[in-house]
Chain A
Amino acid sequence: MHTFNKFLLSSLSILVLVACNKTSTENKRLADTPTKATAIATIKKPTRNKDAVRILNSVPKFELTNQRNESIDNSDLYGRVWVANFIFTQCQGICPLQTAKMLELQNSLKRSNRWDDMRLVSFSVDPETDTPQALSEYINSKSLETSQWQFLTGTRDELWDLSKNGFKLPVTEDAQNTKMPILHSAQFVLVDWEGRIRGYYDSLNEKGYSNLKRDLASVVNERMAYPSTVINSSWVKQRQEQQIASAKNSEIFNDFTFKDTISESGITFKHKIVDDAGIAYKAVHYDHGNAVAIADVDSDGLLDIYFSTQVGSNELWRNLGNGQFENITKKSGLFVDDRIGVGASFADIDNDGDQDLYTTSVRIGNQLFENDGKGHFKNITNKSNTGVKAHSSGSVFFDYDRDGLLDLFVSNVGVYTEENTQKVSLYTQQGQKTTDYNFHIGFNDAFAGHLKAERTETSVLFKNMGNNTFQDVSKKVNLVDTSWTGEANVIDGNNDGWPDLYIHNMQGNDEYYENQQGQSFVRKSRDVFPKTPWGAMGSKTFDFDNDGDMDIFITDMHSDMSKDVFGADEKRKSDISYTESFLQSDGNSLFGNAFYRNESNGQFTEISDQINAETYWPWGLGTGDVNADGFEDVFITAGMNYPFRYAPNSLLLNNQGLNFVDSEYILGVEPRKNGLSAAPSFDLDCSGENKSHLLCKDETGRRVIWGALGSRSSVIFDLDQDGDQDIVTLEFNHAPMVLISDLSDKKNINYIKINLEGTQSNKSGIGATVKVFAGNDIYTKIQDGKSGYLAQSFYPLYFGLGDNKKINKIEVNWPSGNTQTYSKNIEINQTLNLTESK
C-alpha cells in the first residue's frame, strides 16, 4: 500500500507538470474558440493522467465452469474490462457484503454507455460445494442479474492456484472458524481488455470502491477502435443467421463444425508487424503479411508448424500429438530476428528424405536452411547462392527440368521500400516500448510502383545443381519476369509432362510461361489466359469437378481495395474505380477472383461467377476436402486489418463439382471465437510522442487502438490425426487460429492419406499426379506442396472418398515420367506410403 501511495503521489506531481505545460497552449486555443464555456470546464477539471493506472501481471490461463454450466476461459473475457473477486456461497463472513458491493457496482456501471464492454467475475474458492447448480441457486436466492456477471467454479487446485499465484491473493483454510472456514481476500481486482491486472481495491472501503470506479473508467477509455464500428460488427451475426437458414436444405454434408483451439494448443506465437502496416499505416506491400507452412521436420510422423512474422523471429512449433505443440525455434537453429520475414517454403532439396526450408524477406536477404532429419537446421544460404536480397515474397520449389532435383522460383515484388530504416514501435505486454527491430520505410506511393520502371525487381529461377548449390538460370531459360508478383504457381497447362509456371501479378495482368522440355520457357500469358485478375494474390491448382484435370483458382485482393462495398456486392466482381493509367490493364483484367476450368486441351475457361468463386478482400487460399465427400473444398483467408473494417474468411464447400456454397458460418469458422472481429493494433501515447497522430486528436494519455482482425495464410491438414481436415491460419498482427474439425466425431468418414517417395523423381514426389479409383469415382490430385498464401508445405495428399469404402486402385504419374499402379489390398482410413519403383 505504501508503494502504491508513493506511486500515486509521483503520478500526481507529473500531472501537475503536464497541466502547467499545457495551460498556455490551451489558453491560446480558448481565445479563438466559440465554445469557450466547454473548453474552460475541460481545463478546470482535474486532468488525471490516464497512464496512472498501472499495468501489472497478466491473469494466467484458466478454464472453468460458470453458473450456467458453460465452459469459460480467459478468451471469453478478452476484449472486455472486468472486475473479479473471490467468494464462496456458504460464507457468512465478508462474502455477502462483497456480493452486495458487486451488485452495487453492477447497478452503477449499468448506467454507463460502455457497460457492454464490461464484465463482472466472481471466482468460488469452495468449488466442492459451489457446483454450477449451487451457484445458480445462490444467484436466484439473491435475485442477481447475471447476463454479464460470471460465477466460476472448477477444481479447488485450479481456483486456489489462480487466487494465490495468478491474482496473488491469499486463500487458506480455517477449520475452527465456522463462519469463514475458508479465508480469502476481499479485494476487487480490475482486469483490462487484454487480460492484464490493473489494480487491487478494498471493495468494502469507500475510498477503495471509488478508486476502482475511477480506474475502471480510465481503463475502459484506453481502448479506441478504428474504424469505430469494428468492435461490434453485428452484421457478422446477421450473416451467420442468414447463411445457416439458407443451408437448411443443402444436400452437401455440413453437419460439423470447426473450433478454434489456439489456447489449448500450447502455441503462443504472435505475428508482429512493422509501423507502416499499423501505427503509420500506408498502402505499401507490408500489409500482405506472412506465411504458415507445415512439414514433419523431425521425422516423428507428426506435422510441425512454421509461422513467419515481420518483426522478431519466425517460429517453429513441434507437434507433440494430441493437438499440443512446443516452440523449438532456437533449438532447431531457425531463430533469426534481424530481418522482416515474408514467405516460407519447405522442400527436400537434397533428396535425403527430410524437409529443408527456404525463407524470404524484405531487402536483408532470403535464407536456405538444411535439415538434418532430426529438426536441426543449418544455414546454407551462402553456399547455396540463394540469398536473394530484394523485396521477396512467395517461393516455390518444383523440378522444371525433371532431373530429380527440386529447383526454386523466387517471386520478387518490386522495390516498395526506401534505403532508410526506422525502429519498429513495439510494446511489451506491460506496455513498455521496445526498439530492438528496424524496418525499411515503405514508399508512400508504393501502390503505384508498377508505373515506375526504376522500381522493377526481376524474379529468379534457381536451378538445383546438386550438392545443395543453386544457379540463377532466369536469363538462360528465358524466364525474366518483372511482374509485381507475390507468388507463382506450377501447373502443367498443356499436359506435356513439363511443369509450366503461372506468375501472379498483383498490380497488373498475370503471366504464364510454358516450359519447353526443361530447356527454356515461352511466354504465353494472353494466349492461354486472355483475361486474368488485376490484383492476383494466391492460387491453388486442383481438380474441382473430378474430371481428371487440374483447374486453377486465383484470388484477387487488390481489385477489392478499389472500393469498400458491403453485403451482396462482396460476391460480385469489383466495380473498379481505378483509372486505366493506373491499371495498365489493356482491357485484359478481371477485377476479382478467377476460376479457370481446364478444358483438357490446353485451354482454360474462366467460370468464377458461374460457380460462386468470388469472395471479398481475399489473400491466399488453401484447399482440402473438409467434409470428406470426395470434392475439394476451399478456405480463403481475407481481411485488411487496421485501418479497414473487418472482412470474414470464406469457406467454400464444393457442391459436387458444380459450384461452391458459402459455408464459413455454418461450419463455425465465422464468426471467430467469442465473436471477436477486432484486436489491439498498436499503442499510442497521446500526451507524448504520438501527440500528432491522426487518432490522438482530442485525446490524451495512453490509448490502445483496436483494428480489424485478418488472416493471411492457412494450411489445411489433419492436425489431430483423427481422419478429418483441420485448418491453421496465420493472423496478421495477432495469434494464429487452430481450427479443429469435429467431422470424424459426427460422421463415419472414408478417406486415405498418401505419402509419396520418389526414387528417379525428386524424393518428395513434388510434381506427381495421383489418381485414386474408388467405386465409380476417380479422385485426382497433384503433389505440389502449395498451401495457403506465401507458403509451400510438405504433407500427405488427403483424399476424401465420399461413400466409397473400397479403393480399387491408385495410379501415380511420377515427375520422372514413370506411371505406376497400386491395387493390392488398399485399406481406407490410413496413411499409405507409395514409393516409386526404380
Chain B
Amino acid sequence: MPLSRKCSLFLLLIGICFCLSCTPKTKQTRLESIIIEVTGHNFNWHYRYPGADGILGTKDDESSIQDLYLPDNANIRLQLKSLDYVYTFALPDIGLKEIAVPDLDFELQFKTGSEQTLKVLGDQFCGYAHETLIGKAFVKNQDHGFYSWSN
C-alpha cells in the first residue's frame, strides 16, 4: 500500500472517531446571551469566553487573540479591561466603541444578527500604529455550537 493511501485511511478513521465523539455537542442549546472578557495587553486583544459551563473564570474557558468570535442572534456583553495602556476598542461596522483602562471596568452591550464578519479596530494613545490591535469579529452561526471555532 502506498504511503499516501495509508495516511488517507488513517485520517479517515480519525475523522470518524472525531465525529462520533463530538456528535452530542452539536445538540447543545443556542446561546441567547454571552459575556466575553476583552483584555488589552502589550498591544494585543485577548478574548476570554465562558466555555460550555457558561461561566467566565472556570477551567473550560475558551480564548482567542486578535480575532473575536460572537454567537449569532445573541445579546453580547463585552467586558473591557487592560493590563497596561489605555486602549480604544471599536466595532466600527456597527458603530460601537469603548475604552479599556487598567483597574477600571468598561462594557459594550449589543445584539448580533446573522453570521457575518465585522472589523475590530484598536487604538492606543501614542504615535505608533499597532497592527496587532486590528482584527476581525466573526459572528458565527450556532447550528454546530458556538465553540466550533475553537476546535
Contact = CB atoms under 8 A, between A and B. Distances in A.
Interface string A445-465: 101100110000000000000
Given A579-B98, A582-B99, A448 B127 contact: no
A561 interface: yes
B128 A445 contact: no
B53 interface: no
A644 B82 CA distance: 24
Contact of A283 (B97, B103, B104, B125): B125
Contacts of B86: 283, 444-445, 447-448, 582
B90 to A, nearest CB: 9
B10 interface: no
B99 A579 contact: yes
B9 interface: no
A312 interface: no
B104 A644 contact: no
Interface in A565-605: 577-579, 581-582
A282 B85 contact: yes
Interface in A275-292: 281-283
B126 A283 contact: yes
Nearest to A582: B99
Taking each of B102, B106, B127, which has the highest tally of chain A beta carbons within 10 Å of its own beta carbon?
B127
B79 interface: no
B88 A577 contact: yes
A640 interface: yes
A579 B97 contact: yes
Given A282-B85, A694-B128, A451 B104 contact: yes
Given A281-B127, A282-B126, A283-B125, A445 B88 contact: no
A375 interface: no
A42 B149 CA distance: 40
Interface in A629-658: 640, 642-644
B77 to A, nearest CB: 15
A205 to B, nearest CB: 46
B125 to A, nearest CB: 4
Interface in A224-275: 227
Contacts of B104: 448, 451-452
Interface in B100-142: 101-104, 106, 123-128
Contacts of A644: 127
Given A281-B127, A452-B103, A644-B127, A444 B98 contact: no
B143 interface: no
A694 B88 CA distance: 21
Given A283-B86, A445-B82, A451-B104, A581 B99 contact: yes
B84 A445 contact: yes
Contacts of A577: 88, 97, 123
Contacts of B106: 581
Contact of A444 (B85, B88, B97, B128): B85
A578 B123 CA distance: 10
A577 B90 CA distance: 10
Contacts of A579: 88, 97-99
A793 B104 CA distance: 41
A496 to B, nearest CB: 41
Taking each of A444, A578, A642, which has the highest tally of chain B beta carbons within 10 Å of its own beta carbon?
A444
22 contacts: A282-B126, A283-B85, A283-B86, A283-B124, A444-B86, A445-B86, A445-B101, A447-B125, A448-B86, A448-B99, A452-B103, A577-B88, A577-B97, A577-B123, A579-B98, A581-B98, A581-B99, A582-B86, A582-B88, A582-B99, A640-B127, A694-B128
Given A447-B125, A640-B127, 11 more contacts: A281-B126, A283-B126, A444-B102, A445-B102, A448-B104, A577-B88, A577-B97, A577-B123, A578-B88, A579-B98, A694-B128
Interface of B: 82, 84-86, 88, 97-99, 101-104, 106, 123-128
